[in-house]
Structure 1
């Protein structure tokens, strides 16, 4: 599994644990919902800045999202 697939899997898992829709999560992370969708499908290669934004709503580190 490559790093984009690990990120996608971790995002879907954490988002599901919190009971958030992609739109809810995107609002919390401050990014567009379609971008979240693309990341969760491993169709995007997000910057480290975006990975950090994705981590904040979950209260985890960026490295936790790609581990």
Structure 2
């Protein structure tokens, strides 16, 4: 079943999305935008690239 958040109208969700985008643009050292329209594999690869670059870790070495 849907919760109260999911039942909100489209305008609410668009406002929330815009607020998160604003934060990401204002704080690029803290936030990364991932293009979720890409394949799951591509999103995962991009996320790992950002994690490795920002935290100095290597997914291959930790596996």
In the superposition, the TM-score normalised over structure 1's length comes to 0.30
Mark the structure with the bigger radius of gyration. Answer: 2
In the superposition, the TM-score normalised over structure 2's length comes to 0.32
Which structure exhibits the higher relative contact order, with contacts defined as CA atoms closer than 8 Å and separated by 6 or more residues? 1
